[in-house]
Amino acid sequence: MTTPMPGHQDENMDEVLLIEISLAGEIYQDKKANTLRFTRGVAHFPIIGDLIMRAGRDELACVYYQPDASTIDVGTLHQDKSVPAHFLVDELFGKHFIVVGTTGSGKSSAITCILRRLLAEHTHAHIVMLDVHDEYRSAFGDQAESVHPSNLRLPFWLLNFQELCAAFAGVDGHRDAEVEILADAVLAARRRFFESQLGRIKRSGEGAGLTVDTPSPFRLADVVSYLEEQLGKLERAHAALSYRRLKGRIEAMVADPRFSFMFGSYTVEDTMADVLGRLFRVPSNGKPITVMDLASVPPEILDILVSLIARLAFDFSVWSEGAVPMLIVCEEAHRYAPALSREKFLPTRYALSRIAKEGRKYRVSLALVTQRPSELDPTIISQCSTAIALRLSTERDQDVMRATTHDGAFDLLDYLPLLGDREAIVLGQGVPMPMRILFHNIDSLGVPQERTAGFSESWRKPNMDRKGLERVVSRWRSVGRQHYEGSSDIE
């Protein structure tokens, strides 16, 4: 390298260009395999005056592909479109990763491309996708188990006590009293159900060590009965207020058809194995991915549902000793684990943070998808070993990615606001080297549904008549009643 000296240059002198380079690795000759290999780190440093050559296709292929590792081809390199871009399967999915990008940059297509390429060769995977906007129902074809409130029965008794408090206890000055009362009521209800199944318990020994967090069946009717019994023993109206508020919330939750998938069952049965098997695809039976439609889940219980699924995934992995490697894909992750501390998100943040911090030990991983990384809990972001960054327009979001940049590739991130659709900068352990890539176009494979596009086409012709409007109103009013006629009877 030549450094220009200050001062006037002779007109006959060649123009001097200054090139700044960062050393990342080196290519060497593997004598045993008789081939070129790339390794990170530099053992032999260049000196001033050494020739600099532009990397050709062979050198790029050598750097960005590891033939001895399990990989998936997700796109092409920006430097040379003939060189495929490979992700390392074990490093990407065995450790958490994050996909970020502004709206319309291609996040949904990118995650679909990654998962489709994975499932093409790994047909016994176990993936749960939390689909907030009902985009992915058709993206994976027959390989997906489509789950939504109308075809799912997720028993309320699977909720732990923190989640039950989020569902039933208030957030005002009476919360502490209500939490204490609810703990006694739930424990009493669990014990009462076990007593009714006493013969089975004696044979199996399941009744030992019962707590408010034990994932065992109980009846909400027994919870309400306990509250009524305690109300009958109280003399002061003020002391009875917390009991009445709890009772009222439980009865309202059961009576609301929107919550029927969790609170609407007429009978209480131990279906835990069935629920886990369907959610986590055990066995997969040709459908290695569960697409859970959360678009129609009431917002009052959405965070509780996400918390439940994340916690069940972690606990299942712990108790199975990591026998079933699992990936949880969180669309709109900033909604569940926001950077700002808010009371209503605490169970969800805790469940996701637990997977982020401890999940690798038990082979359960997170894939976080968000357009606002600045609004996502920084503790969870810091646990992601791979970052896939599509176009980011705001400086605040770019700063978050720079703060968590891997491999010292700060210069690459300067291109974040300039990336085209489906273009991404990929950093971290999931790739052999930091790279700028173009994801494959997956139009022919079934892209996620996009409802915000096509205004110009839709507005050129009528798009809904009176009958269509009436059908929308009917669906709106009947939400939650497709497979359940609402009842106020508490089981």
Q: Contact 491/267 with Cβ under 8 angstroms? A: yes
- Summarised one tens digit per residue, pLDDT across range 157-198 is 999 999 999 899 888 878 889 999 999 999 999 988 988 876
Average pLDDT, the chain: 85
Which range is least confidently modeled, 10-14, 80-84, 349-353?
10-14
According to CATH, the topology of domain 85-153+278-474 is Rossmann fold (3.40.50)
pLDDT tens, residue by residue, 369-405: 999 999 999 989 999 999 999 999 899 999 888 887 7
Instruction: Specify the range with the lowest mean pLDDT, choosing from 7-11, 249-253, 301-305, 353-357.
Output: 7-11
Say if residue 283 is preceded by a cis peptide, omega within 30 of 0: yes
Higher pLDDT, 238 or 399: 399
Cβ neighbours, 10 Å, residue 196: 14
Q: Where are the alpha helices (DSSP H) in 49-104?
A: 57-64, 89-93
User: Against a cut of 0.95, is the pTM above it?
Assistant: no
Distance CA 142, CA 125 (A): 14
d(CA 64, CA 54): 15
Q: Provide the residue type at 214 as one letter.
A: T
Higher pLDDT, 404 or 361: 361
Token pair for 256: 């609301």
Domain extent listing, the chain: 85-153+278-474, 162-260
